[in-house]
Structure 1
Amino acid sequence: MGIRTLLLALTLPLFDLAHAEFHAIRHLSLAPRSQEAVALPPAEFNVAITAKTPRRASKRNALASLRRKPGKRSPGKRPLRLPGGGGSTVVVDGSDFDEEYLTNATVGGQHFSLIIDTGSSDTWVAHKNFNCFDIDGNPVSPQTCAFGTKGFDTAASKTFQLFPNVSFNITYGDGEFLSGPVGFDTVSIGGFSVAKQEIGVPTLTAWEGDGINTGLIGLAFPGLTSVFNTTDPTKASNANQLPYSPLFLSGVAQKKVKNPFFSIALDRGSFDQQENDPFDPNLGFLSFGGIAPVPVTNTAVTVPVEGYSTTTGIPSNAPGSEFFFYTVNVESFTFPGSKGVVTANNNTILDTGTTLNFVPDPVAAAYNAQFKPAAVLDPDFDLFVVECNATVPDFAVVIGGKSFTIDPRDQILPAGTDDNGTIICITGTQPGGPDVPEDIFILGDVFLHNVVSTYNPVAGEITLTERAKY
């Protein structure tokens, strides 16, 4: 969700089923499986989204907000969140210089634009009576949080049910936080409608909004959900975490889809649009029950989701390991000069909520040196800055024996202007930390623009299909 990183680190093991046996779902990692691509059915419904809302002027200086690196984990800690019927498809919008991909949704019959996030698991919508804070915890005007609506009016929903004596509580690595009540309501996206879905309805919000979104749809696994058996957010911990079924898994349980797939195709915006226009309509598809309806090639592979050890917090497919993120085994990153650096890392997640690729530091340094002229690491932002018209070197990611090439247009992004009004550009592939098992790396929208990613959280599999040039 715009390069946001979950800050809450909880000691493993995660689940205390005595507290949550009525709604917790345990997802164990399975043994390695074939890498032949699974045959995917097409989605049955395509629902266009057309809307346009201006962004806050303060969001135009986006360079600082782009630097939200993957969080660090300590051994024995839960992995950190990196920062958001029969088949239906909705068109995806983009906002905040395409940092966030949005879809229209209804919650309790009320309409919202929500961020699509495969790197988290909670669905939440700001409450109508939210109180806005800055990241230091100081009360500020509600306009400062810049939600796209006045918020969710739970009293006006005929289907909302409060979940008493619990709280939703999440903090992001950039200092943003959300806390408040939890309830159950009907959440609908196009033709995909889930009844009695557990959602957060935060009343305390420190949020750097874009004037468009009012919340988020999390599509990852139950272990990353953020509901706790306490009404005091300062007491949220592993001991009182209440894992629950995220939106898509609830829909599968309610038989809203014939096949347990959801699929995402994210379109890139043009350089011009990203720099000058705050909002893109129709930037791809979020599909339920099958593969998103965009042209693809014959290059495809199905790979297992990597689980995490419940004792070390490091990726593992050993018996008893748990699913949290959509983590994939990267065999290598290939680019000019890549033979001189170890480029494989097996703690890499697919995250629609992150704009950039964050790869091991040696990979980022070696790749960015190949731009002509070479990209330069800015020490203030820890980002590689590059000339906007630089020549982009080739870059591909090898997963499951298949090589997926990243289009050069995704590797140079406008990131605001300097004091003289000159556009500042950064590269799409940035340093994510030392190449050690404890670090989580990300393939964000820069990579995802070039594939259709189709997820089967029930089987613990991901199918990547190369998109035709567009």
Structure 2
Amino acid sequence: MRLTATITAFLAIATFATAAPVKGKQQHHVPLVPNPHFKRNATASVLRAQAKYGPYVTHAFSGGVVPMTDYQNDIMYYGEVEIGTPPQKFYLDFDTGSSDLWVASTLCQNCGSGQTLFDPSSSSSFQESSQTWQISYGDGSTANGVLGTDTVVLGGLAIQGQTIDVAEQESSQFQSGPISGLLGLAFDTITSVQGIKTPVDNLISQGLISEPIFGVFLGKDSEGGGGEYVFGGYDSNHIGGQLTTVPVDNSQGWYSINIDGTSASGQQVTGSFSGILDTGTSLLLLENSLAEQVASAYGATDNGDGTYTISCDTSQFPPLVFDIAGAQFEVSSDSLVYSGSGSSCIAGFGYGGLPFSILGDTFLKNNYVIFNQGVPEVQIAPARY
């Protein structure tokens, strides 16, 4: 959850269980491909998170594949979305920690010259609304504009009348980035304007998917990068073990689950806590006390800004392990490093000063997750590359 709308609670920088597979009848893949550009900024990732949360499929369907980018070797995963008639193509950050679809536009007074901008006047299906929207972020970045509706094509699925946040202004933090906005995949209770149907809502209500689920595989750069979203199902090729079903608490609009315990470097370090599954946050952001214990176990030092410095050579480190619903899910030793080179690196875990943890990409690129808005619940299994 890299971005979020202005709501009661912010997040910026995304129990009991049984093993039971989910079968999707209509399933569409959104593959991801790696891109080695952009500088990593762990501190900015922490700041954004602090503000933000204050059948089986074995191949891609023809026409259902949307190339996506593994940004800066696992830092962010974004994909191509088409908006309008005729379709205009944009790269958006896919985010299970927020619910708005917003895009930079030709109405924007200060959007970046390198950004791809949505032109409402060039779309015969665009309908403008009189309502406005605004988004704020913990690092001081902002965006705002007007609402509208248009056709949105996601992985070959054409959503009719999808509400879009059309940006008229954005702060400098967005002007040089590769994305034109964000695609929110969380629950509709945290949209910037109440009453809006999210893309997932419309995929379900318009009968574009036969099951209210989507499977997420985030690849590792060390394993070839890539990844995919499967709307209406999941890809068994990327599931490396038994699926464990975990109830979701969506009372705050997020995919919040209970973690029963954690072990770091082979040591049990904490009791139970709640965590939000968030594809839009790069780091694994832990509650402060838990982060301190994990850092101590791996010999990491606190940088005072929500990040830790850790040895770049983590090959001898045991994995970080989370106990969830009677099963264990790992963050591999190589994922304990977020960025850097030489002897000192920035850790893939940090803290956000929040009363819960955020299971961001550090966790999610190690584990396959099926998100189910109908129950609600998630199913988790070790990822297969």
Q: Give the TM-score, by structure 1 length.
A: 0.72
Contact 1:263 1:288 in 2 (8 A): yes
Instruction: Tell me the residue number matched to 1:101.
Output: 77
Taking the TM superposition and a 5 Å limit, the aligned residue runs for 1:347-358 are 348-358=275-285
Count the aligned residue pairs: 370
Offset at residue 46 of structure 1 (A) = 4.0
Taking the TM superposition and a 5 Å limit, the aligned residue runs for 1:11-160 are 35-41=18-24, 44-46=27-29, 60=39, 62-68=41-47, 70-71=49-50, 81-82=52-53, 88=64, 90-108=66-84, 109-132=87-110, 142-143=111-112, 148-149=115-116, 151-160=117-126
1:443 counterpart = 2:368: no
Distance 1:355 1:246, change over 3 A: same
Taking the TM superposition and a 5 Å limit, the aligned residue runs for 1:54-453 are 60=39, 62-68=41-47, 70-71=49-50, 81-82=52-53, 88=64, 90-108=66-84, 109-132=87-110, 142-143=111-112, 148-149=115-116, 151-164=117-130, 166-209=131-174, 211-227=177-193, 242-270=194-222, 283-292=226-235, 294-307=237-250, 322-336=251-265, 338-339=267-268, 341-346=269-274, 348-371=275-298, 374-379=299-304, 381-390=305-314, 391-415=316-340, 425-433=345-353, 439-453=355-369
Distance 1:447 1:42, change over 3 A: farther
Offset at residue 187 of structure 1 (A) = 0.7
Query: Which runs of no fewer than 5 residues in structure 2 stay unpaired?
Result: none
Supply the AA of the counterpart residue of 1:465.
Answer: A
Supply the AA of the counterpart residue of 1:297.
Answer: G
Q: Give the 3-state SS of the residue equivalent to 1:181 in structure 2.
A: strand
Supply the distance in 2 between the matched residues of 1:42 and 1:90 (Cα, whole angstroms): 19
Q: 1:37-72 CA deviation, whole Å, 9 max, x = no partner?
A: 2433376444656696x85xxx5362442332643x
Supply the distance in 1 between the matched residues of 2:161 and 2:46 (Cα, whole angstroms): 37
Supply the distance in 2 between the matched residues of 1:354 and 1:208 (Cα, whole angstroms): 16
Supply the distance in 1 between the matched residues of 2:246 and 2:67 (Cα, whole angstroms): 26
Query: Which runs of no fewer than 5 residues in structure 1 stay unpaired?
Result: 12-31, 72-79, 133-141, 228-241, 272-279, 308-321
Instruction: Tell me the residue number matched to 1:28.
Output: none
Q: Give the 3-state SS of the residue equivalent to 2:291 in structure 1.
A: helix
Contact 2:282 2:362 in 1 (8 A): yes
What RMSD over aligned residues (CA atoms) do the two structures have, in Å?
A: 2.9
Supply the distance in 2 between the matched residues of 1:51 and 1:296 (Cα, whole angstroms): 20
Instruction: Tell me the residue number matched to 1:76.
Output: none
Supply the AA of the counterpart residue of 2:8.
Answer: A
Supply the AA of the counterpart residue of 1:440.
Answer: F
Q: Percent identity?
A: 26
Q: 1:142-192 CA deviation, whole Å, 9 max, x = no partner?
A: 43xx6531x10000001100112x112111111111111100001112222
Supply the distance in 1 between the matched residues of 2:201 and 2:168 (Cα, whole angstroms): 26
Offset at residue 332 of structure 1 (A) = 1.1
Supply the distance in 1 between the matched residues of 2:344 and 2:107 (Cα, whole angstroms): 38
Supply the AA of the counterpart residue of 2:88.
Answer: Q
The structure that has the greater radius of gyration is 1
Supply the AA of the counterpart residue of 1:458.
Answer: G
As a proportion of its length, which structure holds more strand?
2
Supply the distance in 1 between the matched residues of 2:173 and 2:73 (Cα, whole angstroms): 14
Distance 1:179 1:69, change over 3 A: closer
Supply the AA of the counterpart residue of 1:217.
Answer: L
Instruction: Tell me the residue number matched to 1:14.
Output: none
Q: Give the 3-state SS of the residue equivalent to 1:113 in structure 2.
A: strand
